[in-house]
Amino acid sequence: MRNHQRTRVRFPYRASEHKNKMIKLNLGCGNDYRKGWINVDFNKEVKADVYADFAKKLPFKDNYADVVLLDNVLEHITPERYFAFLEELYRICKHGAIVHIYTPHYSGMYAFGHPAHYKYFGIGSFDFMRHEDAFNGERYTKARFDVCEQKLFFFHRKLINHPILSKLPINWIFNFSEQWQKLMERFQFFGFDESYFKLRAWKK
């Protein structure tokens, strides 16, 4: 196990150095430790500011975060815990907080190849949480987020063996509009490695 300096935290987490600053949470940081963010992970073998079990209550007060990053994290949340986790995410977000989510796309090789992937995502995966009245009648959680942006990535953004493929400027071809994205999901038979979602918390 690597010897990382660990922040001793209380519940809920309060860090004086973040007072009066924009609060940015990197939930499930893994090896992506970001300066200026509060980096959170359950794995004590990686460097983090807070170690927390996502199967339990997140160690932050209500209406705490301005920005949240979940980079290939949600697929690791078990089905029985998934909606409760979304409500926890919603609880710690301020009204208008921005949530950036990256997940494996359901059609990609990375979705099913990992033994700890429990959920699969595509265009429209978060539509059921929109706050506006015009929704399809499905409500599984009290969390309300507006979907600001959705993207398809042909290649994963962080390919290790072939990083040059991650830099190819081809993703615009698949992201003209939501209708076009859905057509690409249906007829582009090579599949997509990754999806991106930008959500905004709605609390008024």
pLDDT per position as a tens digit, 130-166 = 887 545 566 788 899 999 999 999 988 887 677 788 8
Tell me how far apart the alpha carbons of residues 143 and 129 are, in angstroms, rounded to a whole number.
6
Q: Is residue 131 part of a domain?
A: yes
Q: Is residue 86 part of a domain?
A: yes
Q: Is residue 165 part of a domain?
A: no
Tell me how far apart the alpha carbons of residues 52 and 36 are, in angstroms, rounded to a whole number.
19
pLDDT per residue over 56-106, tens digit each? 899 999 999 999 999 999 999 999 999 999 999 999 999 999 999 999 999
Task: State the pLDDT at residue 18.
Answer: 57
Measured CA angle at 171 (ends 24, 30), to 5 deg: 35
Q: What residues form DSSP beta bridges with 103?
A: 195
Q: Is residue 130 part of a domain?
A: yes
Residue 54's domain spans which residues? Answer: 16-104+118-152+195-201
Spell out the alpha helix ranges (H) of the chain.
79-92, 109-112, 163-166, 178-187
Handedness of CA 83, 70, 95, 138 (dihedral sign): negative
pLDDT per residue over 37-47, tens digit each? 999 999 999 99
Q: Is residue 127 part of a domain?
A: yes
pTM of the shown model: 0.86
Q: Is residue 77 part of a domain?
A: yes
Task: State the pLDDT at residue 10.
Answer: 44
Q: What is the CATH number of the domain that holds 84?
A: 3.40.50.150
What percent of the chain has a predicted confidence (pLDDT) above 90?
Answer: 63
Q: Is residue 160 part of a domain?
A: no
Tell me how far apart the alpha carbons of residues 20 and 147 are, in angstroms, rounded to a whole number.
27
Residue 95: other Cβ atoms inside 10 A: 11
Q: What residues form DSSP beta bridges with 172?
A: none
Q: Is residue 52 part of a domain?
A: yes
Task: State the pLDDT at residue 21.
Answer: 85
Task: State the pLDDT at residue 1.
Answer: 36
Instruction: Phi first, then psi: give them for residue 120, nearest 5 degrees.
Output: -135, 145
The count of domains in the chain is 1
Report the largest interatomic distance among the alpha carbons of the chain, rounded to a whole angstrom.
51
Helices (H) and strands (E) in the chain, counts: 4, 7
